[in-house]
Amino acid sequence: MNAIAKFLRSPIGQKWVMALTGLFLVSFLIVHLSGNILLLLPDNGRTFSAFVDWMESRWIIRILSILLFLGFAIHIVQGILLYRYNRKAKGARYAVTATDNSSWSARHMALLGIGILLFLILHLWDFFFPMKVRKTFHHHQLYDEVVQTFQNPLWVLAYVLGMIILGLHLSHGFQSAFQTLGIRHPKYTPFIVAFGKWFSILVPLLFAIIPIALYFKFS
């Protein structure tokens, strides 16, 4: 156990923490999206509500949601620590910086991360806190709340923007996680890179379509 603790404190180990929590959060996106997609069914939210009901009644989901919060917290705190470490290691900045040797999103992962965090706070404020903490509505009313929220075009815009930021973060983060874990092979890396690229486009796009569709459906 001592070896594991020592490894996780080493800078490469800290990168492993970022990669592993990052991939865990990616798996959560798939679960979240598969629930959200039900909002698009033309049944006035019947299937979606049944899904929410099912989620609310499973203890495994409760445990997973605690793990999810932990995953976010570790990814964020570790990210801040590494960012500060790296800023210090770079020291003085250049007067002229080349930008054609790497992608914009790779160079701005921390900034994109802050963007996602802001979106996350907004998102929790919209649905999680009123439903789970302040209990201003019951989870049976979640569908109506979602529809209500996305009647405001500013809210739709905020969510679409949030998904663009998420897509940019994933476009670097997905394949970067595998590189950090040392999973690289001429046979499989092209697939991982291509999969990451499509994932970072399709998943945020599907998420973003939902508020847009709800806005036009009910307005």
What residue ranges bind other proteins (CB under 8 A)?
A: 3-4, 6-7, 10-16, 82, 85-86, 88-99, 101-103, 106-107, 109, 172, 175-176, 179-184
Helix (H, G, I), strand (E, B) or coil at 31: helix
Of 172, 209, 175, the residue nearest 190 (C-alpha) = 175
Distance CA 42, CA 24 (A): 31
Return the number of the residue (22 or 162) whose C-beta is nearest other proteins.
Answer: 22
CB of 16 to other proteins, least distance (A): 7
Helix (H, G, I), strand (E, B) or coil at 79: helix
Helix (H, G, I), strand (E, B) or coil at 43: coil
CB of 21 to other proteins, least distance (A): 15
Return the number of the residue (32 or 87) whose C-beta is nearest other proteins.
Answer: 87
Distance CA 131, CA 64 (A): 18
CA atoms within 13 A on the CB side of 180: 19
Return the number of the residue (3 or 60) whose C-beta is nearest other proteins.
Answer: 3
Return the number of the residue (62 or 87) whose C-beta is nearest other proteins.
Answer: 87
CB of 44 to other proteins, least distance (A): 45
CB of 164 to other proteins, least distance (A): 20
